[in-house]
């Protein structure tokens, strides 16, 4: 789509409608990441469960989501993103309803499995719709809104779950509220289904099928850039796991802060991340060497986290510095998604995004026990040093992706 056509008011409205709907859907998927964890203390008391058993719910969610995400990319490429989106939101409705009706651990396992299944196709869905429907000049902004929606979903989930359960006196009503939310989002997507139809442009779609048909379905797996993108997501998610799960307790032990105060680091990190994503959307739209922008931003975040890990800062300053690291991660987000778009061969968008983003699920599933063991071992500073190292490895992966794509462009030219 040309810059002139993208400036057309009708095209602008279409772009904004699609971007908003995809951002809402992505926020809903992130809300369901935290469908169960905020209420773990309640489940522990209600069903007599251990934290090890409750932790297994998180592992089950991300294992199913990770495997499903890699497979979902093929499904999205074959049948289109829109019907898979409707099915995924339906899974969320059933997952929350199952949790609301759970009478024991088995019911919670079922809810976690269904939520993981519903979550699995969202990145292939979202990026296929955005890449096919949003005009090129706004694509960086679209990726920024997509990332912001996800962060808002994480931020809102504990407020909704704990707020509703506190107001009603029952965690079951909190689960019912999540089911109603997913149902409302599904209804909205059905109503606005033309805005999330990635196959509306039949001419463009026919071209994609023709190109894809020339290559075997798994040919993209031979591309080193795809696996470098996978590794990039794995390492960057390991760092994010530290912030979401262990930054509060680590700050408490390292700086002697009250846990309630130290836990604000998660909110601060997310707020800075949202600000970074909004700014990063403008940068991604203009940047030619995306890997350089990603490298600078993540290297800055790694340095801040390493500084916190030294234990040299005043306690409250340490919270602010750790939260500020979210700015660099947010700035890098839209450029990261644009870089993956460039790495995806024609006709394989869903498959590439599904494979690459399964690195995110693997990072969540594996990093939590590793960093938890570091914290249990009495090394709170090591948690932040580990996160900084993970980001540094992400920078290396991004640089190698840029080199690969640069070599490909040079050979093509």
Q: Is residue 88 part of a domain?
A: yes
For residues 173 and 295, membership in a common domain is answered with no
Number of domains in the chain: 2
Residues 191 and 231 in one domain: no
Average pLDDT, the chain: 83
Query: Same structural domain for residues 294 and 239?
Result: yes
Query: Mean pLDDT over residues 67-96, rounded?
Result: 91
Question: For residue 214, is it within any domain?
Answer: no
161 and 234 in one domain? Answer: no
- Is residue 286 within 8 A of residue 139, CB to CB? The reply is no
Q: Is the pLDDT of residue 404 over 80?
A: no
CATH number, residue 370: 1.20.1250.20
Do residues 235 and 329 share a domain?
yes
Q: Are 72 and 354 in contact (CB under 8 A)?
A: yes
Given this model, what pLDDT does residue 5 score?
55
* Longest CA pairwise span in the chain (Å): 65
Taking only the tens place, the pLDDT of each residue in 37-53 is: 878 778 888 998 876 78
Tokens 């991660």 found at: 329
- Look at 312 and 264; give whichever has higher pLDDT: 312
CA–CA separation, 133 vs 195, rounded Å?
8
Q: Are 408 and 259 in contact (CB under 8 A)?
A: no
Q: What's residue 408's pLDDT?
A: 45
**Which of 37-41, 190-194, 393-397 shows the lowest per-residue confidence on average (mean pLDDT)?**
37-41
Nearest-angstrom CA–CA distance, 26 and 330: 16
Which tens digits make up the pLDDT trace of 351-384?
777 778 788 888 887 887 788 788 888 889 999 9
Q: Which residue has the higher pLDDT, 264 or 330?
A: 330
Same domain, 91 and 232: no
Which range has the worst mean pLDDT, 90-94, 136-140, 209-213?
A: 209-213
pLDDT in tens, 46-77: 998 876 787 788 888 988 998 888 788 788 88
Higher-pLDDT residue of 242 and 167 is: 167
Instruction: Look up the domain containing 276 and give its range.
Output: 219-413
């Amino acid at each position: 789509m040309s810059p002139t056509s993208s400036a057309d008011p009708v095209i602008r409205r279409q772009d904004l409608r699609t971007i908003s709907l995809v951002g809402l859907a992505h926020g809903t998927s992130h809300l369901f990441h935290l469908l169960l964890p905020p209420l773990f203390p309640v489940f522990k008391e209600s069903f007599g469960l251990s934290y090890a058993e409750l932790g297994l719910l998180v592992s089950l969610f991300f294992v199913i989501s990770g495997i499903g995400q890699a497979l979902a990319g093929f499904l999205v490429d074959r049948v289109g993103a829109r019907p898979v989106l409707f099915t995924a939101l339906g899974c969320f409705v059933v997952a929350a309803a199952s949790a609301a009706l759970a009478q024991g651990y088995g019911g919670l396992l079922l809810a976690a499995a269904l939520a993981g299944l519903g979550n699995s196709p969202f990145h292939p869905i979202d990026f296929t719709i955005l890449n096919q429907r949003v005009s090129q000049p706004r694509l960086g902004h679209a990726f920024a809104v997509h990332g912001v929606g996800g962060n808002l979903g994480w931020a809102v989930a504990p407020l909704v779950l704990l707020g509703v359960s506190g107001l009603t006196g029952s965690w079951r009503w909190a689960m019912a509220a999540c089911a109603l939310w997913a149902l409302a989002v599904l209804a909205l997507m059905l109503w606005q289904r033309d805005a999330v139809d990635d196959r509306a442009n039949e001419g463009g779609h026919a071209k994609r099928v023709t190109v894809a048909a020339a290559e075997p379905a798994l040919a993209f797996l031979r591309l080193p850039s795809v696996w470098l993108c996978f590794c990039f997501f794995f390492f960057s998610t390991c760092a994010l796991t530290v912030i979401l799960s262990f930054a509060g307790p680590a700050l408490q032990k390292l700086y002697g802060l009250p846990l309630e105060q130290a836990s604000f680091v998660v909110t601060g990190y997310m707020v800075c991340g949202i600000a970074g994503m909004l700014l990063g959307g403008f940068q991604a739209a203009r940047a030619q060497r995306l890997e350089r922008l990603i490298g600078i931003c993540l290297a800055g975040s790694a340095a801040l986290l390493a500084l916190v890990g030294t234990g040299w800062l005043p306690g409250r300053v340490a919270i602010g510095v750790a939260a500020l690291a979210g700015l660099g991660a947010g700035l890098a987000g839209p450029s990261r998604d644009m870089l993956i778009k460039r790495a995806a061969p024609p006709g394989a968008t869903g498959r590439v995004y599904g494979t690459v983003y399964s690195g995110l699920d693997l990072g969540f599933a594996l990093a939590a026990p590793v960093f938890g063991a570091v914290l249990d071992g009495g090394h709170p500073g090591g948690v932040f040093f580990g996160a900084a190292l993970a980001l540094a490895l992400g920078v290396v992966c991004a640089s190698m992706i840029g080199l690969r794509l640069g070599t490909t462009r040079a050979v093509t030219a």
